[in-house]
Amino acid sequence: MSVLRQFSDAVPSSKDPTVQRATTNAVDWALAHGLVMKPAAAAIASAPSTDVANHGGLAQHAPFALFPTPFPKACFNQVVDLQPVLNQLFDRIARDHDFLARCIESVVTVDEFTAQLYKVYQQTRAKPSSQSITLGLHRSDYLLHQPHDSNDLSIYQVEFNTISTSFAGLAPVTTQLHRYLRENPAYAKLKAPQIAVHQTEGSLPNNTATAYLVDGLAKAWQLYGCQSAVVVMAVQVGERNVFDQLRLTHDLRQRYGITMVRQTLAELRQGAHLDPITQALVLNGTEVAVVYYRTCYAPADYASPADWETRLMVEQSKAIKAPTVAYQLAGTKKVQQVLTEPSVLERFIPNADDCDHVRACFTGLYPLDNSPLGLDAVRRALEAPEGYVMKPQREGGGNNVYGKDIPVFLQGLPVEEREAYILMDLIKPPVISNLLVHQGLAQKGEVISELGIYGVWLSDHDHVYLNESAGHILRTKVASSNEGGIAAGFGAIDSPALV
């Protein structure tokens, strides 16, 4: 029997008085310890004008799972151990111009966003580089896979994120919440198989994602070599997940004495310039050592051509970028698909065992171009769409096409535009019961979970300063939803309880 089958039974009703007491305790703890985010625009619009004017006066707890979700220990350890190999793999991809160009040039004619990124990449390559240090703050996302007729569990990679890896600030707080609940009398009285696992010592793995990412930023700042320099976090306008980001800001200041300032692209454009001699990025008179992007991963992040010029200015500067545009291109779905082709991994990973371990986490990925493999993928997607998902190149969620929606979408897409997408075998995760807490209320449901493993990479050419597996996040959502955005209300932050 699958190790997770025992958790498919229903958890207590959300109307259970003990559940309600445990939920109240959990929400109070979350608010007291900063497991929070800004409310949606509709909530802000209905708030008193004084609160809106204050801008920072409104917050609500981030959605979270009341029970940590059981997760196979072997699968968890497998991908934690794999992360340093993946960190190095994507650094080598970003440095391999011929490979990157071969992957991306097939996409730029049909995907305007990727084309703009590639244009910035080419413009940067045309000038001598003023910065050879690269900082990668990554997250590799996975789903468990369990076919309907099998008890076997595998773990497959969904994607490798090279830009704007979120929730490294709030994920460790969620682990702390679940540890607090473990000692709470009301919580201990709940009757659910998840509780027995949760009560087991060592079931909740340590999560130091915040510390690891901050260590990476601090080390990059130190290598830059200017004691008066600041770190810039490039952010979206109207960011709701600001408190997740501020945990990194405050930790960097408290532990290292380094200042991190938040800037939108418009603010950077107005306040920053390049020193004509050193190519240093100077913001309001202060040199910038590191630019950490929590934006720029989706077309909507570039409101005008001026925003693209700002990205180019930063890219051509002496500042260390997390990530460079080459790293961002390395994280596209097209690169992910090409990596599954025979012998490609061996171009970057010399160790045969490491190649095998990476391939073990790959599910089926196929082009949708006019090659024989691409035409075969189109045929299979039209004939049996339930087994697939179509994915575009960009990050940010909400862009995928699933199952029965694929034929209509694919047939309405001009043939030449199919290359903007890849086809991926649909991963089928096991479904269990849990209670997800949104806006103070617990809601019972059948859920699935996605595990993210953070990674930190810092190098200067072949000299590697940091290559770490850097903590984790579990994001849990209602099984019937194809979307999983926590800020958008589709999912919840969770912790893995290892079994």
Q: Is 139 marked within a binding site?
A: yes
Catalytic residue, from 247, 294, 333, 418: name it. Answer: 333
Q: Is 125 marked within a binding site?
A: no
Structure token digits, residue 132 = 């050879």
Give the whole-angstrom CA distance, residue 91 versus residue 138: 11
Catalytic residue, from 95, 139, 182, 311: name it. Answer: 139
Catalytic residue, from 391, 444, 459, 484: name it. Answer: 391
Catalytic residue, from 166, 203, 449, 495: name it. Answer: 166
Catalytic residue, from 34, 271, 387, 396: name it. Answer: 396
Q: Is 427 marked within a binding site?
A: yes
Catalytic residue, from 161, 241, 449, 467: name it. Answer: 161
CB atoms within 10 A of CB 489: 13
Residues found in the chain: 499
Q: Is 159 a catalytic residue?
A: yes
Q: Is 467 marked within a binding site?
A: no
Give the whole-angstrom CA distance, residue 188 versus residue 30: 18
Q: Is 159 marked within a binding site?
A: yes
State the Rg of the chain over Cα: 23
Catalytic residue, from 395, 452, 459, 495: name it. Answer: 395
Q: Is 315 marked within a binding site?
A: no
What beta strand segments (E) does 317-406 contain? Answer: 320-322, 365-367, 388-392, 401-402
**Angle 61-255-492 from CA coordinates, rounded to 5°:** 20
Q: Is 450 marked within a binding site?
A: yes
The 8-class DSSP code of residue 414 comes to -
Q: Is 394 marked within a binding site?
A: yes
Q: Is 396 marked within a binding site?
A: yes
Q: Is 392 marked within a binding site?
A: yes
Q: Is 397 marked within a binding site?
A: yes
Q: Is 333 a catalytic residue?
A: yes
Q: Which residues pair with 422 in a beta bridge?
A: 367, 391
Q: Is 477 marked within a binding site?
A: yes
Catalytic residue, from 475, 484, 491, 495: name it. Answer: 475
Note whether 247 and 34 are within 8 A (CB): yes
Buried b (16+ CB within 10 A) or exposed e, 45-72: eeeeeeeeeeeeeeebbbbbbbbbbbbb
Q: Is 391 a catalytic residue?
A: yes
Catalytic residue, from 87, 136, 159, 452: name it. Answer: 159
Q: Is 161 marked within a binding site?
A: yes
Q: List C-alpha distances in Å: 495 to 62, 172, 219.
A: 14, 9, 28
Q: Is 95 a catalytic residue?
A: no
Q: Is 391 marked within a binding site?
A: yes
Q: Is 475 a catalytic residue?
A: yes
Residue ranges of the annotated binding site for ATP are: 159, 333, 391-400, 402, 424-427, 477, 483
Residue ranges of the annotated binding site are: 139, 159, 161, 245, 333, 391-400, 402, 424-427, 450, 475, 477, 483
Residue ranges of the annotated binding site for Mg(2+) are: 159, 161, 395
Catalytic center residues: 139, 159, 161, 166, 333, 391, 395-396, 475
Residue ranges of the annotated binding site for substrate are: 139, 245, 450, 475
